[in-house]
Amino acid sequence: MQSAITDNIRTHSRPSALRITDVRVAALQLLPDGWRCPLVRIDTNQDIYGIGEVRDGASKNYALMLKRLLIGENPCDVDRLFRKIKQFGGHARQGGGVSAIEMALMDLAGKAYGVPCYMLAGGKFRDRVRMYCDTPSEPTGQAMGEKLKQRMAKGFTFLKMDVGIDLLAGVPGALCAPTGMLETQHVMHPFTHIRLTEKGIRLLAEYVAEVRSIIGDDIPLAVDHFGHIGVEDCLRLGQALEPFNLAWLEDMLPWQLTDQWRLLRSHLKTPLCTGEDIYLHQNFRPLFEAQAISVCHPDLATAGGILETKRIGDLAQEYGISMALHMAGSPVSTIAAVHCAAATENFIALEHHFTDLPFWDDLVTGIPKPIIQDGYISVPEGPGLGIDLNEAVIREHLTPGDPAGYFEPTTYWDDDWSWDRLWS
């Protein structure tokens, strides 16, 4: 009798018996000229799977190389497995594989226990998450202001735009730079010796002034992508932009240069923000201890996933620092970030890059559409991430020629082996 009963019940509600059987990827590409965001799927022996996303621009192999460490494991042991794999991540795109796997593990654990991911992170502080709308460069302040006005009409209550030396390219007397430095993106800021002239600073200030004249002074407006200029010119430009009451100045300097950030903050009255390329919570601590920033800005797809990003926010809170979230991915990583934001008290806003991408909402199912309503995303209440993949739409937007296709077998990674222990 007992066997007859168990033969006819759903066994994917047995978390203790859940085991990982496979790790596969789908080579999603959001724009024709790039913006690749590979999706990760972790399969199990109970016909449930978890999904995650590798950060835009990172290799899918960062996730696949972890497969050998996951097969046969119980995905509900999220923290233990994260500690097992986190040594194979790194700053910026190198954190993409570990972070994607952690998202998928959280999705699986939530499905196994029948609870949303935010509950596994300790519960929620909010039912909906404020989105801030990033907007690519426009050649004039007038054009940028009008584009931001369109964002406001869609309900966004927090905005961001790019204002940097790219706007000054070809303008006589606006920039002073050694030959070749303006054309490269591979030299760190202190070493380019690119300088803004007084004319250049005035033109950028006039650009922001024109934007503010169109959108008004009431809505928060953050600024990003200044260019590879040194701390002295960051200071000069930051002071010129102070009259416009900006929400924050983002990534003016490389995040590693703690002393320069502290110098900048001590002389500016506008909040400073960085962190999208920092992996693991302990690597934010120097900036926090130095009181060098006002807003930390991790990207969940770099930082280590949902739980690790919540740790960053909690640590920031101890130092009186708020947390915004960088995000430039599909709805998969965005919804993972929504769960993290819901569970983090000092959160302010989550980035959205793809307001103008018509199929972005259609990549997933299971939540109300449009996903962003009146500038917010409602926190999903379904198990795990609370979403599923729309296979037909994703297949339409796979990277041409990529053998990964739509979760094709990855047996090449099954037998990879390495002695990985970090201690003797």
Q: Is residue 4 part of a domain?
A: no
Are 84 and 132 part of one and the same domain? no
Structural domain of residue 213, as residue ranges?
120-385
Question: pLDDT-based confidence at 228, cuts 50/70/90?
Answer: very high
Are residues 239 and 372 located together in one domain of the fold?
Answer: yes
**pLDDT tier at 9 (50, 70, 90 boundaries)?**
low
**312 Cβ neighbours under 8 A, 6+ residues apart:** 275, 281, 284, 296, 298, 303, 323
Give me the mean pLDDT over the 230-237 stretch. Answer: 98
Give pLDDT tens digits for 281-298. Answer: 999 999 999 999 999 999
Q: Which token pair is 342? A: 């819901």
- pLDDT at residue 3 tops 90: no
Q: What is the mean pLDDT of the chain?
A: 95
pLDDT for 107 beyond 70: yes
Tens of pLDDT, residues 76-89 = 999 999 999 999 99
Q: Are residues 183 and 81 in the same domain?
A: no
User: For residue range 158-195, what is the model confidence (pLDDT) as tens digits?
Assistant: 999 999 999 999 999 999 999 999 998 899 999 999 99
Gap between the Cα atoms of 347 and 312, Å rounded:
11
pLDDT tens digits, one per residue of 12-32: 568 999 999 999 999 999 999
Q: Would residue 108 count as lying in a domain? A: yes
Report, in angstroms and rounded to the nearest whole number, the Rg of the chain calculated over CA atoms.
22
* Together in a domain, 110 and 161: no
Pairwise pLDDT comparison (126 vs 413), residue with the higher score: 126
Do 91 and 58 fall within a single domain? yes
**pLDDT tens profile 346-390:** 999 999 999 999 999 999 999 999 999 999 999 999 999 999 999
Q: What integer is the mean pLDDT of 412-424?
A: 86
Instruction: Answer whether residue 2 shows pLDDT above 80.
Output: no
User: Is residue 208 exposed (0-12), middle (13-18) or buried (19+ Cβ within 10 Å)?
Assistant: buried
Kindly state whether residue 149 falls inside one of the protein's structural domains: yes
Phi, psi of 51 (to 5 degrees): -120, 145
CATH of the domain at 80: 3.30.390.10
* Number of domains making up the chain: 2
Contact 141, 411 (CB under 8 A): no
pLDDT score at 8: 55
What is the pLDDT, as a whole number, of residue 7?
54
The pLDDT value given to residue 13: 64
pLDDT > 90 fraction of the chain, expressed in percent and rounded = 91
